[in-house]
Structure 1
């Protein structure tokens, strides 16, 4: 039963995130982002990180999504239609510096993953000897789990928050007229 729910939440997360990235309709993307964030919170519950799951719902669903929805409501209709209708090629020359930085970051990340031996790091070896039960959710255990076992998802979510804030700020800004 638990494995079925986990697979359902995982597939829901991946499918809704794919829809967010592939959709041309911005409003539908925001609502599917809502589904993605709730499914990720469900995955955190399965990882016995209930504090992080509640934080995910409060901060991301309560904060970021409301910010994005207000951005759409406050944007002019012409701006939203222009964003939805603009169909650019996948990569342009203006995007080359960003692609170069992303490729360099990917190379560094893959290099670090292959060269790092996490079982030989002293601070991880000391923390993996601890066993946590579901009723042992203290701040110390949460901090240890966030900085060891769940470090990659924690950092990925922080990057996601930054991207959401940048996107919301970009959509909310007023366009300058060239007159």
Structure 2
């Protein structure tokens, strides 16, 4: 095992462990900062995959933009959680969480069913990419730009709508309540 593989596995382990802690943590501030570690480690994995543009986009947009927006929205919206986080503890498995747990298992079952039906060995784009190798000197930004504005235009626009919704939600949470 060479040094590159060791560093890749370290990044992968950090991504998996920090993502698990994001979900399992009861403190929202810790979850946000663990999410920062997850996104930053994902950018490191993208660098190892020779996706330099995606890694830079990950850092600039998600780590630099969305995460900072989440932190400011949290800090401006709910100061009572910062004062006493112990009063908001609840049980993980309770009757009030039953619909969410059932929905999660339903989606997980659908995901497993779709994966079992997928025949990934006969997909054209996987068979066609068997001989393609990406060199360090290749201009990946050019190909990403063309693909993003042709083949993946609809998902690109959907992501922009999601970011707009996050911005509107953060602005709504950050506004001050008017007293009547």
Q: Tell whether the structures are fold-level matches, with TM greater than 0.5.
A: yes
Structure 1 counterpart of 2:173: 172
How far did residue 4 of structure 1 move?
Answer: 1.9
1:128 alignment partner, SS class: coil
Find 1:128's aligned residue among 123, 127, 130: 130
Whether the aligned pair in 2 keeps the contact of 1:34 and 1:65 (CA below 8 Å) is yes
Separation (CA, whole Å) in 1 of partners of 2:147 and 2:106: 28
Query: Which residue of the partner structure matches residue 2 of structure 1?
Result: 4
Residue 151 of structure 1 is matched in structure 2 by none
The reply on whether 1:119 has 2:107 as its aligned counterpart is no
Name the counterpart of 2:75. Answer: 73
Please show how residues 35-54 of structure 1 align to structure 2 within 5 Å. Answer: 35-54=37-56
| Contact 1:75/1:172 (<8 A) preserved | yes
- Return 5+ residue gaps in structure 1 as ranges: 147-157
Structure 2: segments with no counterpart, 5+ residues? 149-158
8 Å contact 1:24–1:84 — kept in the other structure? Answer: no
- From 63, 71, 90, give the equivalent of 2:92: 90
Deviates more, 1:30-39 or 1:87-96: 87-96
Q: Write out the 4+ residue segments of structure 1 that deviate beyond 6 Å after TM superposition.
A: 143-146, 173-176
**Residue 174 to residue 100, structure 1, CA distance change in 2 (3 Å):** farther
TM-score by length of 2: 0.70
User: Alpha-carbon deviation of 1:56?
Assistant: 0.7
RMSD of Structure 2 on Structure 1 (CA):
3.7
TM-score, length basis structure 1: 0.71
Deviation track 1:87-110 (CA, whole Å, cap 9, x = no partner) reads 212133343333333222211211
Give the distance between the partners of 1:95 and 1:130, measured in 2 at CA.
47
Return closer, same or farther for 1:71/1:102 CA change in 2, 3 Å cut-off. same
User: Cα gap change, 1:105/1:124 in structure 2, threshold over 3 Å: closer, same or farther?
Assistant: same
